[in-house]
Amino acid sequence: MNTQDYVIGLDYGTDSVRAVLADAGNGAIITTSVFNYPRWRDQLYCDAAESRYRQHPLDYVEGLEYTIRDCLAQAGPGAAQKVKAISVDTTGSTPVAVNAAGKPLALLPEFAHNPNAMFVLWKDHTSVKEAAQINAHAKKFDTDYLQFVGGIYSSEWFWAKLLHILRADEAVRKATVSWVEHCDWIPFLLSGGNDIKQLKRGVCSAGHKGLWAAAFGGYPPNGFFASLDPLLDGFAPAMPAVTYAANEAAGTLSAEWAARLGLGSEVIIGIGAFDAHMGAVGGQIAPYYLSKVMGTSTCDMLVAPVEEVKDKLVRGICGQVHGSVIPGMIGMEAGQSAFGDAYAWFKKIVSWPLQQAIAQCSDENMKATLQKTSDDIIPALTKAAAALPLDVQAELALDWINGRRTPDANQLLKGSITGMNMASDAPRLFRAVVEATCFGARAIVDRFVDQGIPVKGLIGLGGVAKKSPYIMQMMADVINMPIRIHRTEQTCAIGAAMFAATAAGIYPNVEAAMQAMGQGFEAEYLPDAGRAAIYAQRYERYKELGAFIEAHTH
């Protein structure tokens, strides 16, 4: 192995795309670059009141070109010649309508400003009705087509979103030839794809969100979809039954993109996957350790040997798929629809007067002072909340402000805060919100354990894991398990780089890439027995509150 080989990992998040140029020999990050999506920043095609969140493909394309070129420019002369492969991870399920050439419809002039022709972001919940119909429809069949996605189909996923768009927009419906995940489209773009029939779909996206399963010989039969709604007739048969693991190649860099990026056309393009799946590899996941990518939401990954899982199917999670994380193992996904989003929501509530003052202020020095005060709200709340004594009867919250992903997907559910009195101040309410996110994390662990899949410990990845000792210690106490924090700042991007190195043949398998390129762990939080006992009582109250809210949600 030539340790001078470089690989590029691209991590498409909710707000931005990040590229890392990494040394394939030891995983050292040479350079990194971030591009914030300009149209998304301005929320041009979104409506929070309707839970509609759409992203324009130009945000993705512009970010792709900017970050890679920026990484290479920072690295200096000769860096481009060392790049052997590029792999991509994205949020998911984030699909888009495409034409016969595989081009997203929003890239066509007639659909350039139509939100229904854009990528439907993972947290878009406009298809709640369609998801409910899929769940009811699946019960009519002898074969359980939902068995590998936890038994419940979510409005955050592929088919529910497609059906909603087809119903909502006749013009888009007539122009739509297929429906493609973001993580599958970027490799197709980079490798010069111009025929949707030639697009290689990853087992990660297809298995966890698209109902693809080897046991079905591919996707459920056309009759399953056409009898749900004739608008779905023909979509599944047009998608190849073969899917690919992320350690395989989608192709090589096209001449056009080689010129745009300043790279050679021999650069390997790896099969794409979802961010948490590649992030779990970047964070050096191990069997039965729950890898938690904690950002806007959480995605929780667990891998287990096929021969040990056997025929166990975990109900209410986001699927279990052979090879979706590490080829040769079963990958299981769970997660919370709101994690960092919950803290951001609370900050938005308490900082409202400050934001109004900032908007009306004409004095730049005063405006900067007010903005700094706003920026310091979460650290100040964290410090105050950490100083509060634990009380079983304190304010209690549910973390479902963006619906519930797992266990048991239900995007109709709402958040709640109870037990308030005249002494309930901002730090106490903030603590309740943080506890709720940790209680939601425990519910996921409990579901795995209750269904016969042991959880040996936790691995924390992402911004919240690295930046908030308060939240991480609370999580260790609430779940009553140790949590190790990975050293790498960019676990998803470096995970993509590991897959790139494997797809390029630099390593024989993903495990070897993890061992060589992994950076290890920087901290570990151990549960405190006294706090864990109190949180155990509060967790029971959390479950009671959740059952009450769920019983009254229709």
Give the model confidence (pLDDT) of 293-343 as tens digits. Answer: 998 889 999 999 999 998 899 999 988 999 999 988 999 999 999 999 999
* Percentage with pLDDT > 70 across the chain: 99
Largest CA distance in the chain: 69
pLDDT at 503 over 80: yes
Q: Do domains 6-283+488-519 and 340-486+523-551 have the same CATH topology?
A: yes
pLDDT of residue 411: 85
Q: Averaged over 274-296, what is the pLDDT? A: 93
Instruction: Identify the band that residue 554 occupies on the pLDDT scale cut at 50, 70 and 90.
Output: confident
Q: Averaged over 503-518, what is the pLDDT? A: 96
CA distance linking residue 91 with residue 310, whole number of Å? 29
Phi, psi of 119 (to 5 degrees): -65, 130
Q: Averaged over 66-75, what is the pLDDT? A: 98
Would you tell me which CATH number, out of the four given (3.30.420.40, 3.30.70.3270, 1.10.1740.10, 3.40.50.2000), belongs to the domain 340-486+523-551?
Answer: 3.30.420.40
pLDDT at 389 over 90: yes
* Percentage with pLDDT > 90 across the chain: 94
Q: Kindly give the residue spans of alpha helices, DSSP state H, lying in 76-178.
A: 79-82, 128-138, 158-168, 170-175
Q: Averaged over 275-287, what is the pLDDT? A: 94
* Residue 419: both structure tokens together: 């037990």
pLDDT at 193 over 80: yes
Q: Averaged over 356-378, what is the pLDDT? A: 93
- Tell me how crowded residue 197 is: count the other CB atoms within 10 A of its CB: 12
CA distance linking residue 143 with residue 120, whole number of Å? 29
Q: What is the mean pLDDT of the chain?
A: 95
Does the bond joining 407 to the residue before it have cis omega, within 30 degrees of 0? yes
340 sits in which H/E element:
helix 340-350
pLDDT at 1 over 60: no
pLDDT of residue 408: 93
Q: Averaged over 459-481, what is the pLDDT? A: 95
Instruction: Identify the band that residue 489 occupies on the pLDDT scale cut at 50, 70 and 90.
Output: confident
pLDDT at 32 over 70: yes
Contact 498, 8 (CB under 8 A): no
Q: Averaged over 111-120, what is the pLDDT? A: 98
Contact 280, 325 (CB under 8 A): yes
pLDDT of residue 3: 58
pLDDT digits (tens, 9 = 90+) for 374-387: 999 999 999 999 99
CA distance linking residue 30 with residue 26, whole number of Å? 11
Contact 183, 205 (CB under 8 A): yes
- Domain locations along the chain: 6-283+488-519, 340-486+523-551
Predicted TM-score of the model (pTM): 0.89
CA distance linking residue 364 with residue 435, whole number of Å? 38
pLDDT of residue 130: 97
Contact 483, 476 (CB under 8 A): yes
Contact 22, 28 (CB under 8 A): yes
Q: Which residue has the tokens 């909502």?
A: 168
pLDDT at 61 over 80: yes
CA distance linking residue 41 with residue 141, whole number of Å? 43
pLDDT of residue 240: 93
Q: Which residue has the tokens 């749900």?
A: 228
pLDDT of residue 215: 94
CATH H superfamily, domain 6-283+488-519: ATPase, nucleotide binding domain (3.30.420.40)
pLDDT at 2 over 70: no
Q: Which residue has the higher pLDDT, 476 or 405?
A: 476
pLDDT of residue 154: 92
Burial of 362 (0-12, 13-18, 19+ CB in 10 A): exposed
Q: Averaged over 277-292, what is the pLDDT? A: 95
Q: Averaged over 162-183, what is the pLDDT? A: 98
